[in-house]
Structure 1
Amino acid sequence: MSGRKQFPSMTALQVLLAVAERGSTSAAAEPVALSQSAVSKQLIGLEELIGGPAFSRTPNGMVPTELGVIYIEQARTAIKAMEDAALKVARLKPGPRVLRLQVPPIFGDRWLLPRFAQFTEAHPEIEVQFTTFVSKTQTEVPDGMVRFVVTPVENEEGEYLFGHDVRLVSAPSYWEKLGEPSSIEAASRGVMLEHPQTPFHWPSFAEFNRKRGLEVRHTMRFGYYTMVIRAALAGQGMALIPHGLIVDELAAGRLVNPDGLGYRSDHGYWFTRPRNIPTSQSMRLFEQWLHAEARTMHD
């Protein structure tokens, strides 16, 4: 019997991070290009290897355990190291032009990746590598980042994409159950779906609409913003979501924004670049495409 210590595979670590970021095995399947059953199998194998459950299963999604938190932090470091190595190797090649972009998972899943084929078809010579997180040990700085901020930080320059236009939405069945509200007062009888780490909360919405102090009947909080959107689509309550993230759902009628209820948030998605890195031709082409797509949001 071998005494060698067994470690999780890179696939298992990618599954671990995808579940941590998205809150369920079904939501984690697409970004790791596996079926839900394969994701579950990878997670079970990893949990057997590390000696316990990485997540607690709750009605509001899968929440990391104390053991899971430790491995999630180290998985980010390990995957980031491999991404750094891949980027260094790619930049050694004289031919391909490489861009490394850091993108929040929700922005990538719901807005960027569904459109990205247009860019790759127009510029097949540009290799784009995506990462969704920052590690303390990373050695390669991304060429560009999508930030969800009020304004870019001092050592970065960037342009606003969208996100100020925030809508109160839910599934048609939920609004019907609530009596088709056409005012904030009527909507306050509902259940608010929120993620604590986003600024999209009922008090901000009420204050913007000059109804400061008006409280919503009940608030249900989720550990992941993706779960907030999924719960709204399932008709479990109402949520405040940037219009740009749900354009397709609104157009298809899967989400409804009654009477245009919403508000203007100070936060938004910005595309930024480090000031100390020269802008390459590949980056200029990407930015031109990105901002043209963002303008279609009419935010």
Structure 2
Amino acid sequence: MNSRIPSTAGLRVLIALAERGSTVAAADAVNLSQSAVSKQLSKLEASVGQSLFIRHTSGLQLSEAGHIYLEQAKIALQALEDAALRVARLSSDPDVLRLHLLPILGDRWLLPRFSRFTERYPTIDVQFTSFETPGQAEPDAAFRYGVPPWRGQTADYLFGADVALVGAPEYICRVGGLEVLDDIGRFTLLEHPQTPNCWQNLRAALALPAEAPEPRHYVRFGFYTLVIRAAIAGQGLALIPRELIVRELASGDLVNPGGLGFESPNCYWFTRPADRTSRRALNLFHDWLMEEITRRD
């Protein structure tokens, strides 16, 4: 195997491709052209000496080597991000802000809005990290998913309680329509096992009887982003927090037949250390974030 060390750009492309399943979507995530993403992948695979993805008509899927390399790529990038956080803490610059951001929240909600913050506060330097590992330097604040409280943290609710059962209208029509939950037996359900927006969560939330029908088939993905993309592509139904798919619901790319869904206890939160005085940059970002939550456009 070639022992050349891959570039950080190549590692970021690997992660983006694994999460999004296509060079087009990955290019958008890492702010590169599609051809540049393909070149980075080719260089990385040449360095590794094996194919990291299996090419399917439905998109890219990690090979066995790809799964191994992805795990180590995340560790390597987290180490670099952690070093950047530690170095940044040597500076007392009040206009530097370090935030931990969940990839799905950044991709689907925060980043499309973030230009409004930078336009209002152009002197504030926001640095995002995407991975959490034990012992890493603590950021100034973090976006989290789950059920509070978190020890030593104050938490502001963002969204996520309203989870909708959605699908592409063409798919729903093709399968025969979905008016009530008893119709679910005709449909495929798309899930991310590590995210508690699965059929069993809906069953429990709605106290469905044991004899209630189950989806005809389940397809599970390693990344929640792929669940959303597969639903848009008409590959099945999915349970998704409504705020992550506002644009798709407005455009009609996804529909929520019969208003089916459930109220989830697992939500998205913005957390800050309770024992630390917030600096100017964090206070401004927090206030802006709360404005965005109530904004309707």
TM-score if structure 1 supplies the norm length? 0.88
Counterpart position of 2:294: 295
Deviation per residue, 1:94-131 (Å, 9 max, x gap):
76611111111111000000011111111111110111
- Equivalent position to 1:181, from 178, 181, 191: 178
- How big is the shift at 1:24? 3.3
- Is it true that 1:114 corresponds to 2:112 in the alignment? yes
Cα distance in 2 for partners of 1:201, 1:49 equals 38
Mind listing any 5+ residue stretches in structure 1 that lack a counterpart?
none
| AA at the equivalent of 2:279 | S
Change (3 A) 1:259 1:284: same
- How big is the shift at 1:290? 1.0
- Is it true that 1:131 corresponds to 2:129 in the alignment? yes
Counterpart position of 1:245: 244
- How big is the shift at 1:146? 0.8
- Equivalent position to 2:143, from 141, 146, 164: 146
CA contact (8 A) 1:184 1:206 kept: no
Cα distance in 1 for partners of 2:221, 2:77 equals 26
Change (3 A) 1:5 1:258: closer
Counterpart position of 2:285: 286
Counterpart position of 1:235: 234
Count of residue pairs brought into register by the alignment:
293
Q: Taking every aligned residue pair, what percent have the same amino acid on both sides?
A: 51
- How big is the shift at 1:280? 1.1
| AA at the equivalent of 1:103 | L
Q: Which moved more, 1:163-172 or 1:174-183?
A: 174-183
Cα distance in 2 for partners of 1:289, 1:244 equals 18
- Is it true that 1:55 corresponds to 2:53 in the alignment? yes
- How big is the shift at 1:228? 1.0
Counterpart position of 2:225: 226
Specify the SS of the correspondent of 1:246: helix
CA contact (8 A) 1:191 1:238 kept: yes
Cα distance in 1 for partners of 2:123, 2:165 equals 41
- How big is the shift at 1:14? 1.4
Specify the SS of the correspondent of 1:188: helix
- Is it true that 1:32 corresponds to 2:37 in the alignment? no
| AA at the equivalent of 2:117 | F
TM-score if structure 2 supplies the norm length? 0.89
Mind listing any 5+ residue stretches in structure 2 that lack a counterpart?
none
The RMSD of aligned alpha carbons is 2.4
CA contact (8 A) 1:240 1:262 kept: yes
- How big is the shift at 1:174? 1.5
Counterpart position of 1:268: 267
Specify the SS of the correspondent of 2:193: coil
Deviation per residue, 1:133-188 (Å, 9 max, x gap):
124563x3211111111114213221111001000111111122233322111233
